[in-house]
Amino acid sequence: MFPPVSKEVIEAGYEDFAKRWNPIMDVYDSEGVKFALEVHPSEIAYDYYTTVKTLSAIDNRKAFGLNWDPSHMHWQDIDPVNFILDFADRIYHVDCKDTFVRKQDGRVGRLGSHLGWDDPRRGWSFVSTGRGQIDWESSFRALNTIGYNGPISVEWEDAGMDRVHGAEEALGFVRSLLWKTPESSFDSVFKQEK
């Protein structure tokens, strides 16, 4: 942020957020609705610490949760798996979209350089799920660990691939990650009497 704003301005922003959203959360509470904010640049929660700050601003109300979409985390160097584990009780929706960050060549950075989504000179791009650098297997194992059983969607934004082909392929890839978890520990067979 430049020119930088004062801490007071940032605090006032979170206070304003709480003032506006707490009445909405009151209605959600009364109706049994949960809201899932996508942690995303330009949102009040766009990385790890702004997510902590956002939840704190509204007293960690249960009606306010998160849409876990690792594509925005990856290009910001935020670990999507640790995000799942640290915000386990707030993951209300899973949005599968992938990202590919190119090896930096000293010409472009992470902000995109006003280059089109399909321009190979970009520092990063969204790609079809399973074609980027998100560690999906570790992510889905983490989702299993926290007991996530909510909705999973495929958000498709790949400027270099046909939508129909990409959607079908991405759906198949995500389904391959939805394996059955074991009912007992793998070493429990050694504890059984013969």
Q: Is residue 194 over pLDDT 70? A: no
Cα separation of 133 and 152, whole Å? 19
Backbone φ/ψ region at 50: left (φ over 0), alpha (ψ -120 to 50), beta = alpha
State the sign of the Cα–Cα–Cα–Cα dihedral 187, 190, 193, 194: positive
Strands 124-127 and 98-101: antiparallel
The rounded mean pLDDT for the chain is 93
Given this model, what pLDDT does residue 193 score?
Answer: 65
pTM for this one?
0.91
Whether the per-residue pLDDT at 120 is higher than 90: the answer is: no
For the chain, list the domains and their CATH numbers: 7-179 (3.20.20.150)
Average pLDDT over residues 160-177: 96
Pick from 19, 10, 71, 64: nearest CA to 37 = 64
State both tokens at 187: 């070493």
Rounded Cα gap, residues 40 and 69, in angstroms: 8
Q: How far apart are CA 102 and CA 126, in angstroms?
A: 11
